[in-house]
């Protein structure tokens, strides 16, 4: 949403305010005010025009302008009812120089997960990708993924769901029947491009099963809807995620703290399968590069990537 349109919206929210008063305050023509009001109505904002002027009566349930309105983070939100993959679109935007843009979709038809897996993305989920340009060395870019998982976990908990982070950056809802530590609520696919030892862009792509019924999800997955028994307000959920993500992303130490505070993997016995060996022990910490520190009983092993299973205590 451009600055003038945002200013019109803020003023009509505090309205009623007349067209001429808006034009004066924003230093634009009355015709321009009318155009912005019409565009906002087209985007789903209910703007009444009574004798005293324009006043905001209702806001749209979901979409780009709806998420931007009242969001305390500096992101522009590009919304799609349906798209192949928000990460693919975000990569296009990154290639053309964009920054701090969120691509948000109701449905993805070609959602991509980690390890080249498909990611089921029916309507009702939160499928979003953020184009970021942090001043980081590529080896430190994991902190952006950690910021997103901590932000999404905190926002999911605010909806009343007992979510936790499973290393590296999955969100689970713990469930004793599931050997893998719980049912998967969300995952993050981070893609990045670097140049001369610096990150050029990094895109954390979050898939959070929000208002999706269990029938539409893989067997080992769950959703906020399934856990709560009623839908969440996705507009508010996305705003909270973006605000927390924005507050954390420039602060690696705060990110690591937030990650630790939400992690199910820490203080848990784990088995991490690496290409050439298996590390078993207690997960005791995470490094600022996102690696897991496992106390095997004889040493602390730092594992950077691998398949992690949560084990029952011995
Ligand atoms: C995982 O495998 O756990 C990561 C899943 C990431 C899915 C999200 S949905 C939004 C974004 N767009 C994609 O195509 N993938 C990510």
Q: What token pair was written down for 235?
A: 């507009």
C-beta of 80 in contact with ligand 1 (< 6 A): no
pLDDT at 181: 75
Inter-helix orientation angle 142-158/234-249, to 10°: 140
145 CB near ligand 1 (under 6 Å): no
What is residue 131's three-state secondary structure? strand
Ligand 1 mean position to 188 CA, how many Å? 5
Please give the model's pTM, rounded to 2 decimal places: 0.95
Q: Kindly report the backbone phi and psi dihedral angles of residue 79, in degrees, each rounded to the nearest multiple of 5, phi listed first.
A: -105, 145
If you write DSSP's letter for every residue of 59-116 in order, what string do you get?
A: --SSSHHHHHTT--S--EEEEEEEES-HHHHHHHHHHTT--SEEEEEEEESS-B-GGG
Residue-wise pLDDT tens for the chain (314 aa)? 889 999 999 999 998 999 999 999 999 999 999 999 999 999 999 999 988 899 999 999 999 999 999 999 999 999 999 999 999 999 999 999 999 999 999 999 999 999 899 999 999 999 999 999 999 999 999 999 999 999 999 999 999 999 999 999 999 998 876 566 799 999 999 999 998 899 999 999 999 999 999 999 999 999 999 999 999 999 999 999 999 999 999 999 999 999 999 999 999 999 999 999 999 999 999 999 999 999 999 999 999 999 999 998 87
Could you identify the atom of ligand 1 that is nearest to the CA of residue 184? 3
- The percent of residues above 90 in pLDDT, for the chain, comes to 92
Sequence-ordered list of residues with C-beta below 8 angstroms from that of 217, at least 6 positions apart, any chain: 120, 122, 209, 223
3-class state of residue 274 by DSSP:
coil
The protein residue whose alpha carbon is closest to atom 11 in ligand 1 is 205
- In the prediction, which pLDDT does 178 show? 59
C-alpha span between 210 and 222 (Å, rounded): 9
Q: What pLDDT was estimated at residue 177?
A: 65
Q: Whose CA is nearest to atom 15 of ligand 1?
A: 112
- Phi first, then psi: give them for residue 81, nearest 5 degrees: -60, -40
Which of 312, 313, 310, 314 is closest to 271 using CA atoms? 310
Strand, coil or helix: what is 310? strand
- Between the CA of 128 and the centroid of ligand 1 the distance, in Å, is 8
Q: Are 270 and 294 in contact (CB under 8 A)?
A: yes
């Amino acid at each position: 949403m451009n600055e003038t349109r945002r200013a019109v919206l803020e003023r009509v929210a505090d309205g009623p305010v007349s067209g001429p008063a808006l034009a004066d305050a924003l230093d634009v023509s009355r015709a321009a005010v009318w155009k912005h009001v019409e565009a906002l109505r087209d985007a789903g904002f209910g703007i009444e025009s009574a004798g005293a002027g324009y006043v905001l009566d209702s806001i749209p349930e979901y979409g780009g302008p709806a998420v931007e309105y009242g969001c305390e983070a500096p992101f522009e939100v590009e919304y799609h009812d349906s798209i192949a993959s928000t990460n693919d679109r975000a990569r296009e935007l990154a290639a053309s120089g964009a920054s701090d843009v969120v691509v948000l979709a109701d449905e993805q038809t070609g959602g991509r997960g980690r390890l080249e897996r498909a990611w089921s993305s029916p309507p009702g989920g939160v499928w979003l990708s953020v184009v970021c340009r942090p001043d980081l060395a590529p080896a430190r870019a994991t902190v952006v993924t950690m910021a997103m998982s901590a932000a999404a976990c905190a926002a999911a908990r605010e909806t009343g769901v007992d979510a936790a982070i499973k290393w590296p950056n999955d969100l689970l809802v713990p469930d004793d029947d599931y050997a893998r530590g719980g049912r998967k609520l969300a995952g993050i696919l981070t893609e990045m491009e670097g140049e001369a030892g610096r990150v050029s862009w990094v895109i954390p792509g979050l898939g959070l099963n929000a208002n999706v019924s269990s029938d539409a999800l893989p067997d080992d997955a769950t959703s906020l809807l399934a856990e709560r028994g009623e839908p969440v307000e996705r507009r508010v959920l996305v705003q909270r995620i973006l605000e927390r993500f924005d507050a954390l992303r420039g602060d690696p130490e705060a990110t690591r703290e937030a990650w630790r505070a939400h992690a199910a993997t820490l203080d848990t016995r784990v088995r991490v399968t690496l290409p050439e060996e298996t590390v078993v022990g207690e997960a005791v910490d995470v490094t600022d590069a996102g690696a897991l520190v496992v106390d095997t009983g004889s040493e602390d092993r730092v594992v950077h990537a691998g398949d992690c299973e949560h084990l029952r205590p011995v």
